[in-house]
């Protein structure tokens, strides 16, 4: 069966520090991969998605970047965190090639920038 | 563009009450529609889905019917439980896109 792992579960980082969140998927190959952010009390904002190794699409300009160094690994990064980067970050995957099937989500990372 | 609109929350109900959470969508073409649920501190889980008009998705006592004529996918449950307290997200996916578009979420609080 397919599983998705996301870590860490919680993170407190000072302003200006770097960030690296990792997500890995098991039990499937060539998945579509996604990073979403959920600000407190708000909906989900799609940040990045990837349809293959090294292929990253950015949805909104921001202080974050994403990379896909391996087929089932998706990394969210920042060189210098801002207070506004605080939120709940969710990784998800779906069966390619399209998204008319459901997406499967990780447990999320709660990031607090102080 | 494609979008999903959900009713504002929070929705507060007593146990065993009837639940409706409204969801309408705008899409060019024929989307698939989903309801996801997020329990406190967790990621999202798929609750139910429908892939074409007039389909009814159901799971754990929840139901939603894909209504093309009213572009709606309202979530219903006949008798809610305290354990149903969560945030519910309506979403759509298009065959022509890699992106799953979410509504803003509706928080449900069920009191004993």
Neighbours of A47 (CB within 10 A): 21
Question: Of B89, B74, B80, whose CA–CA distance to B109 is shortest?
Answer: B80
Which residue of A lies nearest to B31 if distances are taken between CA atoms? A100
Average confidence (pLDDT) over B31-50: 92
Whether A99 sits inside 8 A of B42 (CB atoms) is no
Whether A101 sits inside 8 A of B93 (CB atoms) is yes
A15–chain B Cβ distance below 8 A for any pair: no
pLDDT the model gives residue A41: 66
Whether B103 sits inside 8 A of A32 (CB atoms) is no
Residue A43, min C-alpha distance to chain B (Å): 4
- Measured CA to CA, the distance from residue B55 to residue B57 in angstroms comes to 7
**pLDDT tens digit string along A31-89?**
999 999 987 767 788 899 998 999 999 887 678 999 999 999 999 999 999 999 999 99
Average confidence (pLDDT) over B23-33: 91
């Amino acid at each position: 069966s397919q599983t998705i792992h996301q870590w860490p579960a919680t993170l407190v980082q000072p302003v200006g520090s770097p960030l690296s969140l990792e997500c890995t998927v098991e039990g499937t190959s060539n998945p579509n991969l996604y990073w979403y952010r959920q600000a407190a009390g708000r909906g989900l904002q799609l940040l990045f998605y990837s349809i293959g190794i090294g292929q990253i699409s950015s949805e909104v300009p921001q202080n974050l970047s994403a990379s896909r160094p391996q087929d089932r690994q998706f990394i969210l990064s920042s060189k210098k965190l801002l207070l506004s980067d605080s939120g709940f970050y969710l990784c998800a995957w779906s069966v390619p090639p399209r998204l008319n099937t459901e997406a499967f989500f990780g447990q999320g990372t709660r990031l607090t920038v102080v | 563009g494609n979008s999903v609109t959900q009713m504002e929350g929070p929705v507060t109900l007593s146990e065993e009450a009837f639940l409706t959470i409204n969801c309408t969508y705008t899409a060019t073409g024929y989307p698939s529609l989903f309801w996801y649920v997020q329990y406190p501190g967790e990621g999202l889980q798929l609750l139910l889905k429908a892939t074409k008009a007039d389909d009814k998705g159901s799971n754990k006592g929840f139901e939603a019917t894909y209504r093309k004529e009213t572009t709606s996918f309202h979530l219903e449950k006949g008798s809610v439980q305290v354990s149903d307290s969560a945030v519910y997200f309506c979403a759509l996916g298009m065959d022509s896109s890699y992106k799953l578009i979410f509504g803003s979420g509706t928080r449900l609080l069920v009191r004993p």
